[in-house]
Amino acid sequence: MTLSDQIPTLVFAEGADLRIQQAAVALSKLKLAHIILVGKQDEVIDCAKNNKLCLDGMTLLDPAKASCTADFAMYLCDYRGIKQRKVAQRMVQKNLFFAATLVARNSNHILIAGAQATTKKVLEAASFCIGYELGVSAPSSYFLMHLPGKPEPFVLADCAVAVNPDASELAQIAISTARSATQHLQQVRVAMLSFSSFGSGSHASVDKVREATERAKALAPWLSISGEIQADAALSESIAVNKAPAEDPVAGRANVLIFPDLNAGNIAYKLLQELANAQAIGPILQGFSSPVADLSRGATSSNIIEIAKLMLQLHTNNRIEQP
């Protein structure tokens, strides 16, 4: 295997987007990865020319013209359950599905999408073309939140994907996020958040979080996890003294925050951005058998560069850890 073979490839599903091209140019100069821009050839080239961007060294793939498109259609028929070849052919003509299939077929590729497509569309393409890791029934996501004055980031989940997970799904989100968090934190301490702390409140949503906590403990005994617990008790040791058992391993020191539903998670991370000047990196999707990043449609080129760098770091770490 040559050094070139070991360098990962970033696959940008929206290659005609100006922000994507600006980020791709910057990343290309760093020589951290090969870069593929997916999109209609004329639109990709016109965007670069109109904005005086040089795409030298990058690969441009137009699903309507690429030699691999027919092979991708056969792959979807043979391995992803599409019965009619014409349907598969139409599917891989779409940039998102083409890019997702490209990543599915190449273990050293990373999918980055969402600059224009909604999260729903990104998930649809990744779920169908790439599929889930063993033991995962649905994808989830997390954000890295860098707060001013804090030496380590906080990890928040799920703030982008799972709308109203049941107890089993919430437990899986906690476990997946804890595993992901090991890439970012020296010690992982998971708080299962609620408006109740250890039975102080009563409601079906509290029961869900409590059950999810017990399920997570049973499935991942190695996990340092606590819940159900209120956010202040999870984060402040002085408050935890009055709200949590003395022997609790997480209370007051949590750095991974699992929210009961998407309303809570999405609102929380946006509040941290706006009121605490926190830097949010994500959402990083988890649970897929290949690496996938879902950009915000409001992402700047700088945001895209940060996400790409993070995905490269995670991908490299995962490859090193594999036997």
> Torsions phi, psi of 215, nearest 5?
-65, -45
Smallest CA-to-CA distance from 170 within 222, 128, 120, 210 is with: 210
Q: How far apart are the first and last CA of the chain?
A: 17
The tokens describing 276, both together, are 């605490």
**pTM, full prediction:** 0.82
Fold match between 3-131+288-321 and 140-276? Answer: yes
Q: Can you give the pLDDT of all 323 residues of the chain as single tens digits? A: 343 457 899 999 999 999 999 999 999 999 989 999 999 999 999 999 999 999 999 999 999 999 898 888 888 887 777 777 787 788 888 999 999 999 998 889 999 999 999 989 999 999 988 988 877 888 899 999 999 999 999 999 999 898 999 999 999 999 999 988 998 999 999 999 999 998 888 899 999 999 999 999 999 999 999 988 999 999 999 999 999 898 899 999 999 999 999 999 999 999 999 999 998 888 889 889 888 999 988 889 999 999 999 899 888 776 544 43
Smallest CA-to-CA distance from 178 within 166, 168, 169, 187 is with: 187
Q: State whether residue 225 is helix, strand or coil.
A: strand
Nearby residues of 269 by Cβ (< 8 Å), 6 or more positions away: 143, 145, 156, 159, 278, 280
CATH of 3-131+288-321, one of 3.40.50.10950, 3.10.20.740, 3.30.200.20, 3.20.20.70: 3.40.50.10950
- Structural domain spans, the chain: 3-131+288-321, 140-276
Distance in angstroms (rounded) separating the CA atoms of residues 12 and 33? 12
Assigned CATH class of 140-276:
alpha beta
pLDDT at 320: 45
DSSP assignments along 119-177, one per residue: HHHHHHHHHHHT-BPTT-SS-EEEEEEE-TT-SS-EEEE-SSS-SS--HHHHHHHHHHH
